[in-house]
Amino acid sequence: MDAHHPVGTVRPGGRAARVRAAVTAAVIREILTVGYSRLRVEAIATRAGVHKTTIYRRWPTREALVTDALRDQAVAAIAIPDGGSVRTDLLHLARSVALNMRSPVGGGLLRTFISESASVPEIAGVARDFWTTRFSVAGEVVTRAVARGELPAGTDPNRLLEALVAPLFLRTFVLMESINDRDLTLQVDVVLRAARTDCYVTSPTGPKRASTPGS
């Protein structure tokens, strides 16, 4: 293996890229079919149309294989908007998150994380990597808003996104309630109001703004 390409990664294009795409897609389908704890490399290989040794050469452990597949899924599942306005972008992002939570793949993966996390310790690390990747990608919305002066300097993208997504997660997976566009708009406006009063600032680069009445 090329020393410049770590385990589980491939050069873009060609057979290696096709194999990676087939295998990672097969991993997602197998998780949705049998769950994480019953995941078997042999079944993944059969679904992907490759030999299991092809998988082991690239991913020596089940955890590495699933982590890579979920990392790809985390990046691909939700489009990151860039409409020039933080409110517009966050509303677009919230809609994408809500839609993904209701989808067979997105919702199925999240339910697997919830149902198996207590009985399969390994899945906690996999889930953590999945969320880290997803928040890192989506955080660009907040980073751009700070650069445009729409949000305070030092606003922590993760904290803001957690505040945005957590109620959606609660409504979908705990309360089993639907989410409409009015709910999403209200949630975005609540989070933005908090953000603009420095609630999510964790590393200010300048003096903290004094709050004013009515802000």
Residue 38: give its domain's CATH number: 1.10.10.60
Is there a domain that residue 204 lies in? Answer: no
Indicate if the pLDDT at residue 24 is higher than 90: yes
155 SS3 class: strand
Is there a domain that residue 212 lies in? Answer: no
Both 69 and 83 in one domain: the answer is no
Both 95 and 183 in one domain: the answer is yes
pLDDT per residue over 48-59, tens digit each? 999 999 999 999
DSSP letter, residue 178: -
Total domain count, the chain = 2
Is there a domain that residue 205 lies in? Answer: no
pLDDT at residue 125 in the model:
82
What does the block give as tokens for 50? 């490759």
Both 84 and 187 in one domain: the answer is yes
CATH code of the domain containing 144: 1.10.357.10
Question: What value does the mean pLDDT of the chain take?
Answer: 86
CA distance 76 to 71: 9
Q: Which domain holds residue 54?
A: 14-73
13 — pLDDT class (breaks 50, 70, 90): low
Is there a domain that residue 201 lies in? Answer: no
Both 38 and 86 in one domain: the answer is no
Virtual CA dihedral for 136, 97, 87, 159, nearest 10 degrees? -40
Give percent of the chain above pLDDT 90: 62
Q: What is the pTM of this model?
A: 0.77
Indicate if the pLDDT at residue 5 is higher than 60: no
Burial environment of residue 105 by CB neighbours within 10 A (0 to 12, 13 to 18, 19 or more): middle
Both 181 and 107 in one domain: the answer is yes
CA distance 158 to 70: 19
Q: What is the mean pLDDT of residues 102-128?
A: 85
Give the chain's length: 215
78 — pLDDT class (breaks 50, 70, 90): confident
115 — pLDDT class (breaks 50, 70, 90): confident
Both 99 and 179 in one domain: the answer is yes
CB atoms within 10 A of CB 11: 10
More confident residue, 15 or 65: 65
pLDDT per residue over 160-212, tens digit each? 999 999 999 999 999 999 999 999 999 999 999 999 999 999 965 544 443 43
122 — pLDDT class (breaks 50, 70, 90): confident
More confident residue, 187 or 73: 187
- In the chain, the amino acid numbered 198 is D
Both 131 and 187 in one domain: the answer is yes
Last residue of a domain, one of 22, 40, 73: 73
